[in-house]
Amino acid sequence: MRIVDLIDKKKRGLNHTKDEIDFIIESMMNGTAPDYQISAWLMAVYFKGLTEEETAYLTEAMIDSGEVIDFGALADSIVDKHSTGGVGDKVTITLIPLLAAAGVPVAKLSGKGLGHTGGTIDKLESIPNFNTKLSVKELIEQVKKINVAIASQTQNLTPADGKLYALRDVTATVDSMPLIASSVVSKKAASGANNIILDVKYGSGAFMKTPEDAVELSKLMVNIGKILNKNITAVITSMEEPLGRAVGNSLEIIESIEFLKGHIENSDVADLTYSFAAIALMKVGMYDSKSEAKEFLKELVHTGKALEKFKELIEAQGGNSEVINNYDLFELPQYKVECESKKSGYIHSIDAYKIAYACKILGAGRDKKTDPIDYSVGIYLNKKSGEAVTKGDTLYTIYSNDPDKTKIAQQYCDEAFAISYEKTAHSNLIYKIVKPKEDDDVQ
């Protein structure tokens, strides 16, 4: 077999066999296929797609590229959650200590920023000394000891996804349904948890632009989960506007800490965190009712138990947990620029993609896979949709290390905000839930 022939085959829209997909992934892993060939194959997949069968083969090949965590009998009680990627999406960071404090073990494999979206690993690495490179043994031991661990793909865990993910990020091949599905599900299958919750996002800040596409992607992932014996629930949520007020690595960790301190109860971040956590508690059989589960979870935030668990997590992974009480211990940006509203009225919408783009310009994301990240930069939305604004009020704040980049970011942010004279109604954050049914269909 030759990689060039397989690129040509996909370019012409033909289907791969399992052996061919295995060959592509093995050649990438042993270095016989250089990045430029894999990139060309990714672009062919982007345009011609993969069938559900090919996507399942790719997922299996990526799982087989590394170790699979075996929690044994414990696997049925362990939860893993994953987002298909958004802007300001810090719900993994708020959710995992909350679940662990609730007594639900969480084993989480996460990725770095992808395309315009932020990555949980980059965000956590903004905490001084936080180590996300856990070995399989370390991850298992930490989950057994403190109920929670979070790691990036290492050489041990789905390394093929790590490589493809980095190439997709810089070759404009991220927003492809089969590539997203195989990337997400391979990581989840390798993490050893049997209860998987996926946050499948749609909207301007997501890879899927419409709820219909998000439903299709969800069904694909739930079906592949069934083939791999994983119980996947996909929750389809809106990413038209950034989640929360902070976008940028350390800014998002600070907002997550504020949630865990109980300071931002009435917010989209709190709503999604409690909804996902309640779904998880029901999935593992701890609660039958969503409202009772939420009451219990809120109590864990109000009593400080969820925050305490986050502190334990940071310390277990070598990070400086003093950041929880002293935000100045994060890397600080040189400039903080408050930008005023030029109009009075109500915030009608905030385009998540434009805010993400502005953040990338500031240095919060990568252009090339080896690019360093500036953890300190980002954008804080002083106003969110539905809120009243008076001309001259601060609409958003830019955290930056470069005055020229600040100016460009400001243009994108100004374009992102739409202000109307009247208050407009906004749709629910959760659009639909897709679960495997008892029979072979997906509902």
Instruction: Tell me which stretch binds ligand URA (CB under 6 A): 45-53, 54-62, 183-191, 284-292.
Output: 183-191
Q: Is 161 a catalytic residue?
A: yes
Site residues for ligand URA, 50-79, by CB under 6 A, read none
Question: In the bound complex, what is the minimum distance in angstroms from residue 117's beta carbon to ligand URA?
Answer: 7
Which member of 58, 151, 184, 206 binds ligand URA (CB under 6 A)? 184
* Binding flag, residue 436, ligand URA (CB under 6 A): no
Cα 194 off chain centre by: 19
Instruction: Please choose, from the candidates 91, 388, 87, 377, the residue with its C-alpha nearest in 3D space to the C-alpha of residue 241.
Output: 87
Per the annotation, the verdict on 183 as an active-site residue is yes
Binding mask 22-41 for ligand URA (x = CB under 6 A): --------------------
Kindly state the smallest distance separating residue 187's Cβ from ligand URA, in Å.
6
CB of 174 to ligand URA, least distance (A): 6
Query: Among residues 85, 118, 192, 319, which is the contact residue for ligand URA, using CB under 6 A?
Result: 85
* Cα separation, 333 vs 397, whole angstroms: 12
Asked if residue 92 binds ligand URA (CB under 6 A), the reply is no
Q: Are 57 and 21 within 8 A, CB to CB?
A: yes
**Whole-number Å distance between alpha carbons of 239 and 241:** 5
Q: Is 183 exposed, middle or buried (0-12, 13-18, 19+ CB in 10 A)?
A: buried
- Closest residue to ligand URA, judged by C-beta, is 183
Residue 187 annotated among the catalytic residues of the structure: yes
Beta bridge partners of 417: 350
Q: Which two tokens stand for residue 284?
A: 């593992």
Could you tell me which residues are beta bridge partners of residue 200? 236
Q: How far is the CB of 84 from ligand URA (least distance, A)?
A: 5
CB 222 within 8 A of CB 234: yes
Annotated active-site residue in 22, 89, 122, 161: 161
Among 94, 142, 183, 385, binds ligand URA (CB under 6 A): 183
Instruction: Establish whether 82 is a catalytic residue.
Output: yes
Q: Which of 183, 250, 385, 400 is catalytic?
A: 183
* Interacting span for ligand URA (CB under 6 A) from 3-11, 68-76, 175-183, 226-234: 175-183
Exactly one of 10, 16, 81, 82 is catalytic; which is it? 82
SS3 content of the chain, % helix, strand, coil (to 5): 45, 15, 35
What is d(CA 164, CA 177) in angstroms, rounded to the nearest whole number?
A: 14
Q: Name the residue with tokens 């060309």.
A: 40
Cα distance between residue 130 and residue 315, in whole Å = 8
The mark string for 102-131 relative to ligand URA (x by CB under 6 A, - otherwise) is ---------x--x-----------------
Residue 172 φ/ψ region, left for φ over 0, alpha for ψ in the -120 to 50 degree band, beta for the rest: left
The catalytic residue among 108, 168, 245, 311 is 168
Question: Catalytic site residue 384?
Answer: no
How many of the chain's residues bind ligand URA (CB under 6 A)?
Answer: 9
Give the strands of the sheet with 106-110, arranged side by side.
148-152, 106-110, 79-83, 195-202, 231-238, 430-434
Catalytic residues: 82, 161, 168, 183, 187
- The residues that touch ligand URA, with contacts defined as CB under 6 A, are 84-85, 111, 114, 179-180, 183-184, 187
